[in-house]
Structures are given as structure tokens and as C-alpha cells.
Structure 1
Amino acid sequence: MPARFDFSRPPFDCLTEIERSEFDEVMDLEYFAAGETVIGPDQEVDALYVTMKGGVVEAGSDDPAAYRSGAPFDTRALVAGRGTSHLVAQEDSILFRIPRDTVLALTRRNPMFGAYFYQDVAKRLAFLAHRPFQRELQSLWMARVRQAPVGEPRWLDDRASVLDAACAMRQHHVTSVLVRGAEGVGIFTQSDLRNAVIDGVDTRSEAVALRARYELHTVEEDDFLYQAMLTMTHHGIQRVVVTREGEVVGVLEQIDLLAFLSNHSHLVAAQIERAATLDELRQAARDMERMVTLLHGQGVKVTLIAELVSELHHKLLARLFAMVAPPNALAHVCLLLLGSEGRGEQIMKTDQDNALLIEDGYRHPDLPAAAARFNELLVEFGYPPCPGGVMLSNPRWRQEIGPFKRQLEQWMDHPDGENAMNLAIWQDATPIAGRTDLYEQVRMHFTRWFAQDGGLLARFALPVEQHFDTPRPLLAQLWGAEQRDALDLKKSGIFVIVHGARSLALEAGVIGANTYRRLDALARGGHLDKQQARDLAEALAFLQALHLGHALRQVQEGKPVDYRIAPNELTTLENDLLKDTLAVVKRFRAHLRHHFQLDTL
């Protein structure tokens, strides 16, 4: 082959060595002068072209695609065997040429490679947008023991009984305690407790020091994690004692080590459950950030990351509120998450959106201060305050049932501007602590009121027109030219999908706040075309995945998180997928405009 082909670019990076050799054997180079047609409309296509030097542009299009070095183009035409657009050389260009038969044969044998050529937008996005980043687990194994979740040692003296040890393990949610006895430091575990019971000992009188084991298996906190795992494996044990220059500083459990090396979620959930102080809860919030980075690096789908984070986030906030709320308050109130938090689609620590419904007639003098403290602590935990004041500390979002219903009615009487957004925020409410029946009372009132006014639904849906940011053509992005305005992923796509699904769900009486579940329910109920629902779900997942990667980079660089993504952050493949995604959004917006007759408002 006259020149070396770059197999590190998608989709060619998923080819095996044997498959790459097949490419090399049949690949050729072809020259095109500036302005010369590469593929014409309805022209027979017998090869896949990939730019080596120069560039190819789509001619005669309002939103033209352009392809630079390493970019394959008109892949759908390759499958169909006929050109679908007019592609010309933008300058004198040299292109790699791979015969169509070879490419199609590989698409049948390699599903990941074949996904790039699918015409089904949902499949194309689902297969390619969430591919693993090939991060090696080796770097985690080479982390130090001190970086892992080492548990605080729980000590008993040699006068304590076996029953005392059992009570201590239950109280502290641990599986072992350490004993200081005449023989030195020993360890007593759940297995030792089980054996003591089977042996028929009197747990009240039997000294734990007599049942403890004094041949400790230890690792230094500066040892590598793989050394800790090797020690556990070699001795067939479930934990090791961690030391600092020979002094005991903690215990590392095998289950926590494995959680650290996998997705970290089990560990964080256990931390939240065990948290007895605000500092322990704050640490759990910090560990959630690390978990997100780890899962993203392992290529886990953004929807699965969101589900995990949402579940942990709900537990964290419920636990925090229980710590600061007045005694017995949870029997009279309902804590709600709103907006993206309520939908279970918030991954990064963005603005707070929360509210508190209060039983009519319940007035505790300490409740306002507790609500303010709740929001203050969340700021300390890394969750910025809501610029619009959608928080417990705001009396508007902390009311008794009756007044809150009347406030909703006022918003629905004048569903414009801020009121419209407040209604949308409320529609995503999810109860996470306290009395859920209080939420159900307000939800049913809200739904009945909407059902009585057909025009209200149209005004509710109108923001998809008012807040939509029409994306500029992607030509500059694909060519790498500088662009003053980065693309706002939220305004250009995420908001339209989320609010469109929210509006259709409200009309159809779909219960539940999550956008993916709303789309699925709308499709199953015949309120939305099934293929369109699948396309929208995958388009949303792709946009959220782009935002997550962008946000993690911003956090690493110490910048505030936003939705504006610069052209140079996107690969050629991501640009290609983004164009597909924005086309899905454009069709959905047209559907909403027609369905709710938004042009008449």
C-alpha cells in the first residue's frame, strides 16, 4: 500500500489485526482535483472513500457536511450502492479507496464496525456513542492501599464479650472488630461469631479475646492494591489489616476493594447508609464524583451512570434531610427533587432543584431554619444553589398543601415566562423522603386542572419553540475552523427532547418523570411513533454522553460546568453522530409544532 492508513480512528479502531490486514491488501489511493465530483447523486458506489489529504465537501446543501483527514463519508450510500448526495473535492485531494465488497463483508462479521453503516439512527447511536474508552484496569491495581476505602478500626478490650463484639459490628455496620489482649492485637470476624454460636458458647460470658485470631495479615497503606488482593487470595481471607509504619490504621474489606476496582457504587451506598455525621456524608458526596469519572472511563452507558447516580443522590439527600430536620418532621412533610434531579438525569453536581410539601396545619418553628441549613450543606457538598431559587429555603417552594395547590393554579392561569418554567419544573417532581401521599395529592390536582384546559397544554409545550437554539451548520466544526459560538447541547437538543416528552406525557397522563421512561410509555401507548421514540432516546443519550465528557474535562481543568461544547472537542465520528442527532431533534420539534399547533399561539 502506498501510504499508511490510520486504524486508530473510529470506526476502524474496532477492527482486529486480521481484518486490518484485509484492508491493507485491497486498499488503494485515488486523486481528485479541486471541484471534481467524488460521488454524485444516484451514482453507483463501489468503494468506501476515506480522506488522506485535502478534503471533501457536500455541495448544494443548506447544512453541508465536510470531511477532513481520516474521515469516511457517504457510508449509507456504500450500503445502498447508490450515491445520496453530491460530494466534491474541496481542494486537490488524495483519498483512500476500499472496495465495497470488502467493507460489507467486514460489517457482517464485525457488528461494532457494521454499526457505523446502519441507516437506523437509533442503532447507529446506540452502538457507537457509548463505546468503551479502552481504559486499562491496570492503573487502578497500581493505586495505593490508602486510596481505597479503608474502614476505621473498631476496637474492643480483652474484657469485652463475644456478644459485645456482635453488638459493635451491628452498630458500626462492619464485619470485624479488633481486640487488644495479652497476646497483642487480634481480629474477630463474622465468621468467628458464627463458629462461636455453632460451638454453643455463652456469648454473654465468653471473652472475645479467647475467640480472636492474633496472626494478623497486614499491608502497609503505601503498598499497591494488587498486593492487598494477593494477600487475601493467598490466605483465603476476606479482609486485611492496614498499617502505617507498623501501627494499625484500618481494615480493608475485599468487597470494598472490588467495589473500588469496579463501579464504586456499592461502596458509596454503604457509606451513605453508615454515615452518622455530616463529615461522613460529605465524603460520600465526594466519592460519587470519583465513581462517575471511573464509570465514564470504563465506557459505561450514560443512561446507566445516570440511574446509579440518581439512586445514590436520592439516598444522600434523604439522609441529609433526616439529619437536619426537626424530630418527627418526616411524618408531616415530603421532600421532593425537581428538574433534572427529579427526572433522574443529573450526573454532575449542577444547580439544586428541591422543594418541601408540608401537611396542612403542621407548623414547626425550626422547619424554616432546617430547610435553609439543608440547602447550605448541599452547597458545601458541591451542589450550587439554584439561580432561580427553586430550593427548600425559598418559601415559594416550601409550603403547606393548600397554599401550594393555589400557587400551581396561579401559574396555570398565566402559563407564560417564569410561570411556564415553574410548571415544567414541577412536572418533573419526584418524592424521596417523608410522606409520598402529600405529593400525590398535589400531583392529582395538577393533572386534573390541566385536563380541563386543552389550550393550557399548548402553552405548556411552547418553550420548545421559545428556548430552542438553532444550531449553526456543522461545516466549520467538521473542518476544524474556529467558531465564535460553541454549540449549546442543552438548547440545541436536550431541552427539546426533554420538554417535548414532558409535554406529551402530561397530555397522555403518563406518570413518572424520567424522559426515557416517558418516551417508552408514549410509544407503548400509541402516543408516539415507536421508531421516533427509539431515535429520540438514543439521541438524548448521545447528547448527554457528550455533555458528561465535556463536563468532566471542565471539572479537571477547574472550570465551571456548562453545556457549551467547542468544535475541537469533537471527533469526526462524534460530528457525524451529532448531525444525525440534531436531525432527530429537528423532526421531533416539527412534530410538536404540528401536534400542539404552536404556530397559532
Structure 2
Amino acid sequence: MKPSNAIQERVQEFLNKYPPFNLIMPEKLQQLAAQVRVLYLEPEQVLFSQGDARHAFFYVVRQGAVRLLQQDELQEQRLVDICDEGDVFGARALITKNNYASTAKAAEETLVYGVPIALFEPILHENPEVALYFAAGFAAGASVQHGRMQETNQARRGLKSQLGLPLPLHLEDVLAVDTSQSLVTCSPETSLRLAAQIMSDKDSSFMVVVDEQQKPLGILTDTDMRKRVVAGHVSIDDPVTAIMSSPVVSIKPNPHMAEALISMMRHKIKHLCITADGSINTVVQGVVTEHDLLLAQGSNPAVLVQEIRQTKSIANLPTLRDRAEELLQKYLEQEVSIAFVANIITEINDALIVRALQHAESILGEPPLRYCWLSIGSEGREEQLLRTDQDNALVFEDQHAAGEKEAQVYFLKLATIVNELLEKSGFEKCPANMMGSNPKWCQPLHTWKQYFYSWIHEPTEEAIMHTSIFFDYRPVYGDVKLAAQLTDYIYEHIQQERIFLPFLAKHALQTPPPLSFFRNFIVERGGEHKDQFDIKLRAMTPLVDAARVLTLDNRVAGMNNTFKRFEKLAELEPQNADLYREAAMAYEIMMRYRALNGLRNHDSGRYLNPQELNKLERQTLRNTFKPISDVQELLQVRFQLSYLG
């Protein structure tokens, strides 16, 4: 039994590193690991073929790699994906019950875990988060191309993306490369001096070395020039053959992106020659570069984040951030999980903030003290899908009075640069000036502790208002230990002051459920938004406030996101689990409606016109309001608010 238990423990430990298994309760995962089958595949061994009936298992790569291949109408196989350690494949059988849409073949010696579908299906139905991970791949637009469904690749894409991990290329897409433009070429006898001059004149970073028939012999790049010629290893008068990369790796015209990407990875190169038949024995027509692949990934959030982080020109940030709106529109139209969408948009916003802070530091010089930039409000909760107004703050380390005053001057300048850059990127400045450029919200750690001490121990209406904003802070950049120290201080004093949470709960009840006695939407009676429904104030804020006070009551620290808070509460309070899950689902639906409304009207999406909603939309929204009244009733009873006055 000991060896068996040891294997089971290793399986469980491995699975717990990867989604969706890391979302499963330990005891359930332990039971699952005990039934996992370990399979060894030799190179080129087929695990299942396209069209095969589904197995009793879906699979996870433990070690090695598995290629997923699809056969087209011409009976030609093409690569649609490569699964490596931790990747799930064969999941289509779990979701659709249909035959396999691709062939799984070992790329090398490979170990895979076979996870029994019969044992996993109850987990899928019992755990909404696990179900979302699998379903997201299909919701993300399981596209039909050339008459074939791409579920297998889409499922994997959904699995990886749900944790905010980089989304892979749309591997089935064709990579269109313009071969009509003149290609920079030279003969093998050309000197490096002349080649450098030609490349400079043509503004090209590479040159293809060809023979008399224009067949490719090698590729010369500016990197080769720097490393070999400028470094003095080769004379500038030597021929290009002295440093060119040869032989070239070639590919046929209009390749699938998977084919180009894998070829570059396999050969550790950044350029592929396009030839008439894909071999080096025909005329070169063009070149696919690594940059071409990056441009083709324009809708890939991982690439967008990378571009934001690495852009040298700060003036590019607003344009880069605009592209996130296109992503948001696509994800919402395809009904992708809001949890996933929120993760992606948060990553993009955080990258923008970090790049802005780095830019500010480059202008002002090294910070005089350690500091931490905090996102607060909806961005602090990782819920800011649309570019609404900014909410942020800055905390820096304690120092003697003179040192703090001098440091604050620096940090106010830094915050001003960041706030202005965020404004240029579409995030309006906070009307209430809840920003790091406000001296009140740019303070040393001990001052922030004083703020929270007074708010907790003297819970006036203004104090409660401030806590509803600042309690949801999230460290984005800098020394996160400062934020951690502040968090520890806050929770210590919440436990000391028993009256605080009831006051916070009372504040959460200020907005009544958003339906009238006749089940009509309670709309604005006058002003600019007359007859419109304020989904933020009347529906979303009550759930945000309730989730906050209930997690504080359960002493849950470091979790700001509203639907994650409700999911955690469902785990901590099984007797109220159904209500909390309904509240989480309701909040996600509201976030989707608000985002769609905002994109449609080019605004914050806060005000909906009930008359523009169809019957199904109105009914769906009405159904989301039910958990509001139920949660508020729970607060009323738990904190005995009828006695609070």
C-alpha cells in the first residue's frame, strides 16, 4: 500500500499546481488522484485519433509533450496545438460527449495522467468555478473554420486563460504575409560592409542571401552584425557567408500560425523563408519574422500586456489601452466568463499603471523612500471593466518628520504624472479627488494607520463612506510589505472595536432592493438620467457592501473581489452557501450588463434604460435582484441592526 499511496500523493501534488484541479477541495482531489491512470507514450504513439469515440478519461500531460493534429478535406494533417506539462487535452469528450475532433500523438517520450470522467463529472457539476474553467473554452468562441470545430484547442485556451495566464495564438489561423513588397537580398559574395549599407538604405533588420536562381542560402540580421562584426570577431570586408545563418529554415506560403510558431521554436530562430513549395530548392518569396507573429496576436491579452510593459514611448500607452476595449467587446459578445474578463482587464490596467509609475520614476529619479501604489474602489476589487474614473492612493514608509515631508513632495509629483497619464489613457480623474496626487491620500504608513484607526473606532457617516472606498485597496506596484503591514493593523483593530462592523452593515442597507412594489425598476425621478436605472448604486453597490462586511466579519483578509468574496463566504458558511452563490452569480450578470451598456453608449454604463431592454433581459435583471434583499435581510439579523438605531 505504501508505494500506491506515494504515487497517489505525487499525482495529487502535481495536479494541485494546475487549473482546474487547484480549485478542487483537497479531499476531493485526493479521491480523484487515487483513481488517475498513469500512461507512458512512446514518441509518435497515438493516444486517440480524430473521430474516435471518447475514452473513459480526459488527459493531463505529466511530462513530455503531445501534439494535437487535425485532418482536412484533402486528408492532410496539420498541427493545431502542442500540449506540454500541466496542459489538459481530450476535454471535449468531457463537455460535449462527442467523438474526438483531433488526433493526440506523443511528440516525444511522454507521461500522461488519465483522469476518469465518471469520477470527475460530479465535481464538474458541484463546483461552479471548475465548470467555468471548462466551459470558458467553448464560450470564448469555439469557431468553425473550413467546416471543422476547434473545440479541443478552444478548451485548452479557456483552461489556461481562466487564471489570467497568457492566451496562446489562434493556432488554426492562417498567417498572411505580404510577399508583394520587395525583399532585401544579396549574393553570397557581397561584403558585410555593402550588406550593412543596403540594409540601412532599405530600413531592413535582415537580408536574405540568395544564389543566382534566387534560392535562399542564408539569412543575415542586424543582430549578427552587432555580435560578430561590431564586436570585432569578423572583418567588415569579409563576405556575408562568414556570419549568415545557414541553412535557412523554409516554409510554404500562407502557413498556419501554429506551423510557423513551432518551426521557430524548434529551430530557435526568428526568421522563416517563404518559398514556392516550402523547400529551400525554390525561389524565396518573402520572410516570416517573429515580429509578424506578435502582430498577428494583436487580440492576445498577453501580448498586449507585454507591449504595455515594454513600450519605450510613453505616448503609445493610450493607444495600447484602447485595444483592451476591443478585447472586452469581443469577450462580452462571446459570453466569456466575467471572472476571466475581469482578470484580463485588471492585468492590462495594472500593466498600464506600473509602466506609468516607472516613467514617472525615470523623470523624477529614484524614490527617496520605499512606497506602494494602491488601487482602490472597483480597480482595487479587480472589477473595473470599463474605463471609469480613477481611484488610487499611495503609502510610503515612515521616516522622521522632515524626511516624510520631503518624500511627500516627491511622491505627489510622481502621483500627478501617473494620474495625468491615466487620464490621457481614458481614465477620468476622480471627481472626489480620491487619488494619489491628493496630499491627503499620499501619506506615510503611520498616517494611514491613524486614518483607519479613527474610521474604525469612530464610525461616523463620513468615516464609513471612506472605509467603503479604502477598505478595498490592492497593492499594484512598489513595496507590498507596506500594504501588508497596513492590512494587519486594520484587522487587529476591527477585532478590538465591536461596534464598527454593525455600523458598516447598517451602511450596506442604505440602498433598498431596486424593485418597486409592482416589480418595476426604481428609476431616477429627475435630472440628466431621468427614467433611467442606476445599476451601480441600486443593484451592484448593495452586493459590494454586503460582501465586504461579511468577509470582514469572517476575518478573511486579502480578498477584495466581490464574487470571490461571496464564493469564499459560501465555503465558510455552508448554511448560507446557496444564497452566496446566487449573489455571486447575480453580481457577475450585473457586471456584464453594465459593461455592455457602457460599450454601447461610450460611457460608464452606469445608467440603463429599462425600455431598451427586451423581455428576457428585464426578467434576467429582475432575477438578479432577489439575492440583494435576501443578503440584506441576513445582515439585518446577524448584526441586530434594528437595535442600532
TM-score range, shorter chain: 0.5 to 0.7
For residues 43-122 of structure 1, the aligned pairs below 5 Å read: none
- In structure 2, what is the equivalent of residue 525 of structure 1? 572
Decide which of 385, 389, 407 is 1:347's aligned counterpart: 385
Decide which of 541, 561, 565 is 2:604's aligned counterpart: 561
Decide which of 364, 372, 376 is 1:334's aligned counterpart: 372
Question: Structure 1 residues 158, 350: CA separation in 2 closer, same or farther (over 3 Å shift)?
Answer: farther
- In structure 2, what is the equivalent of residue 450 of structure 1? 494
- In structure 2, what is the equivalent of residue 211 of structure 1? 244
- In structure 2, what is the equivalent of residue 573 of structure 1? 616
Specify the SS of the correspondent of 1:545. helix
Give the whole-Å Cα distance in 1 for the aligned partners of 2:434 and 2:347: 21
Measured against aligned partners, the alpha-carbon deviations of 1:286-308 in whole angstroms (never above 9, x if no partner) come to 22222212222222111210011
Native 8 Å contact 2:271 2:288 kept in 1: no
Give the whole-Å Cα distance in 1 for the aligned partners of 2:489 and 2:623: 40
Give the whole-Å Cα distance in 2 for the aligned partners of 1:349 and 1:380: 11
Question: Structure 1 residues 440, 161: CA separation in 2 closer, same or farther (over 3 Å shift)?
Answer: farther
Give the whole-Å Cα distance in 1 for the aligned partners of 2:498 and 2:485: 22
Q: In the alignment, does 2:468 pair up with 1:440? A: no
Deviation at 1:250, TM superposition (A): 11
For residues 300-449 of structure 1, the aligned pairs below 5 Å read: 300-325=336-361, 326-329=364-367, 332-361=370-399, 362=404, 363-364=406-407, 365-449=409-493
Specify the SS of the correspondent of 2:205. strand
Deviation at 1:336, TM superposition (A): 0.6
Give the whole-Å Cα distance in 2 for the aligned partners of 1:370 and 1:235: 43
Measured against aligned partners, the alpha-carbon deviations of 1:253-308 in whole angstroms (never above 9, x if no partner) come to 46435533xx5202212102212221233332122222212222222111210011
Deviation at 1:366, TM superposition (A): 3.0
Native 8 Å contact 2:419 2:429 kept in 1: yes
Deviation at 1:384, TM superposition (A): 0.6
- In structure 2, what is the equivalent of residue 582 of structure 1? 625
Decide which of 517, 521, 540 is 2:587's aligned counterpart: 540
- Letter of the structure 1 residue corresponding to residue 454 of structure 2: Q
Superposed CA RMSD:
4.8
Give the whole-Å Cα distance in 2 for the aligned partners of 1:563 and 1:355: 24
Specify the SS of the correspondent of 1:284. helix
Native 8 Å contact 1:502 1:515 kept in 2: yes
- Letter of the structure 2 residue corresponding to residue 443 of structure 1: T
Q: In the alignment, does 2:206 pair up with 1:179? A: yes
For residues 193-204 of structure 1, the aligned pairs below 5 Å read: none
Native 8 Å contact 2:251 2:272 kept in 1: yes
Native 8 Å contact 1:330 1:435 kept in 2: no
Give the whole-Å Cα distance in 1 for the aligned partners of 2:498 and 2:512: 23
- In structure 1, what is the equivalent of residue 92 of structure 2? none
Deviation at 1:385, TM superposition (A): 0.6
Native 8 Å contact 1:474 1:579 kept in 2: no
Give the whole-Å Cα distance in 1 for the aligned partners of 2:230 and 2:287: 31
Which range moves more in the overlay, 251-260 or 308-317?
A: 251-260
Question: Structure 1 residues 249, 357: CA separation in 2 closer, same or farther (over 3 Å shift)?
Answer: farther
Specify the SS of the correspondent of 2:551. helix
**Structure 1 unaligned residues grouped into runs of 5+:** 1-107, 111-119, 148-152, 166-176, 220-225, 243-247, 478-482
For residues 208-247 of structure 1, the aligned pairs below 5 Å read: 210-211=243-244
Deviation at 1:575, TM superposition (A): 2.2
- Letter of the structure 2 residue corresponding to residue 548 of structure 1: A
Give the whole-Å Cα distance in 2 for the aligned partners of 1:432 and 1:231: 34
Native 8 Å contact 1:339 1:428 kept in 2: yes
Question: Structure 1 residues 234, 422: CA separation in 2 closer, same or farther (over 3 Å shift)?
Answer: closer
Measured against aligned partners, the alpha-carbon deviations of 1:137-172 in whole angstroms (never above 9, x if no partner) come to 88x99999899xxxxx9xxx945999xx9xxxxxxx
- Letter of the structure 2 residue corresponding to residue 426 of structure 1: F
Deviation at 1:488, TM superposition (A): 1.8
Native 8 Å contact 2:423 2:429 kept in 1: yes
- Letter of the structure 2 residue corresponding to residue 488 of structure 1: D
Native 8 Å contact 2:394 2:436 kept in 1: yes
Specify the SS of the correspondent of 1:211. coil
Specify the SS of the correspondent of 1:388. coil
Decide which of 455, 464, 472 is 2:508's aligned counterpart: 464
Q: What TM-score, normalized by structure 1, do the two folds share?
A: 0.61
Decide which of 308, 311, 317 is 1:281's aligned counterpart: 317
Give the whole-Å Cα distance in 1 for the aligned partners of 2:332 and 2:453: 42
Measured against aligned partners, the alpha-carbon deviations of 1:310-358 in whole angstroms (never above 9, x if no partner) come to 1221122112112103433286101111111011111111111111101
Native 8 Å contact 1:179 1:187 kept in 2: yes
Give the whole-Å Cα distance in 2 for the aligned partners of 1:474 and 1:284: 47
Native 8 Å contact 2:250 2:273 kept in 1: yes
For residues 492-507 of structure 1, the aligned pairs below 5 Å read: 492-507=538-553
- Letter of the structure 2 residue corresponding to residue 573 of structure 1: L
Specify the SS of the correspondent of 1:366. helix
Deviation at 1:409, TM superposition (A): 2.1
Deviation at 1:388, TM superposition (A): 1.3
Q: What TM-score, normalized by structure 2, do the two folds share?
A: 0.57
Specify the SS of the correspondent of 2:206. strand
* Larger RCO (CA under 8 A, 6+ residues apart): 1
- Letter of the structure 1 residue corresponding to residue 535 of structure 2: L
**Structure 2 unaligned residues grouped into runs of 5+:** 1-95, 99-125, 146-169, 179-183, 185-190, 265-269, 275-285, 522-528
Measured against aligned partners, the alpha-carbon deviations of 1:50-78 in whole angstroms (never above 9, x if no partner) come to xxxxxxxxxxxxxxxxxxxxxxxxxxxxx
How many residue pairs get aligned? The number is 433
Question: Structure 1 residues 331, 413: CA separation in 2 closer, same or farther (over 3 Å shift)?
Answer: same
Give the whole-Å Cα distance in 2 for the aligned partners of 1:371 and 1:228: 47
Decide which of 285, 299, 304 is 1:268's aligned counterpart: 304
Native 8 Å contact 1:292 1:305 kept in 2: yes
Give the whole-Å Cα distance in 1 for the aligned partners of 2:334 and 2:220: 37
Give the whole-Å Cα distance in 2 for the aligned partners of 1:571 and 1:509: 42
For residues 33-44 of structure 1, the aligned pairs below 5 Å read: none
- Letter of the structure 2 residue corresponding to residue 352 of structure 1: Q
- In structure 2, what is the equivalent of residue 88 of structure 1? none
Native 8 Å contact 2:248 2:272 kept in 1: no
- In structure 1, what is the equivalent of residue 635 of structure 2? 592
- Letter of the structure 1 residue corresponding to residue 420 of structure 2: E
Deviation at 1:393, TM superposition (A): 0.5
- In structure 2, what is the equivalent of residue 550 of structure 1? 597
Q: Percent sequence identity over matched residues? A: 23
Native 8 Å contact 1:356 1:397 kept in 2: yes
Specify the SS of the correspondent of 1:322. helix
